[in-house]
Amino acid sequence: MSKIIASKTIYPPQCYVELMTGNFYIGNAIKGESVVKDIKKLLAMNNITNIKSFAINDIEKAIVEKKKVVLVDCSHYVGDMFVQEYRWFQINRGTKIKEEK
């Protein structure tokens, strides 16, 4: 893996939150159009603040800021329309990533 991209896995939002907090949230904890806001709210509930996320085409910002990131699937529905969205989310130093072989 690169020094910036910490994993080749695309994380569902719940798995990213579990990676960061050790807690798995199910059900409606992350839903609808506010996936990014919901992720940040759950992180804040676990005293994890100042986590940055970057649009998928803004990986350069993570590189400039020297942030280790993973890709998170933030896709959601707006009414009946499915909106596919992926974002780079920062991980904390020392976060253990398990890669499947």
Distance CA 51, CA 37 (A): 11
DSSP 12: P
- Taking the C-alpha atoms of residue 57 and residue 74, their distance in angstroms, rounded to an integer, is 14
Could you tell me if 97 and 70 are in contact, meaning their C-beta atoms sit under 8 angstroms apart?
A: yes
Who's near 7: CB < 8 A, 6+ residues apart?
A: 1, 70, 71, 97, 99
Q: Which of 2, 10, 12, 36 shows the shortest CA–CA distance to 100?
A: 10
Please state the pTM of the whole predicted model.
0.86
* Range with lowest mean pLDDT among 4-13, 32-41, 46-55, 72-81: 32-41
**Span 13-32, pLDDT tens digits:** 999 999 999 998 876 656 66
pLDDT digit string, tens, across residues 48-79:
998 999 999 998 888 888 889 999 999 888 88
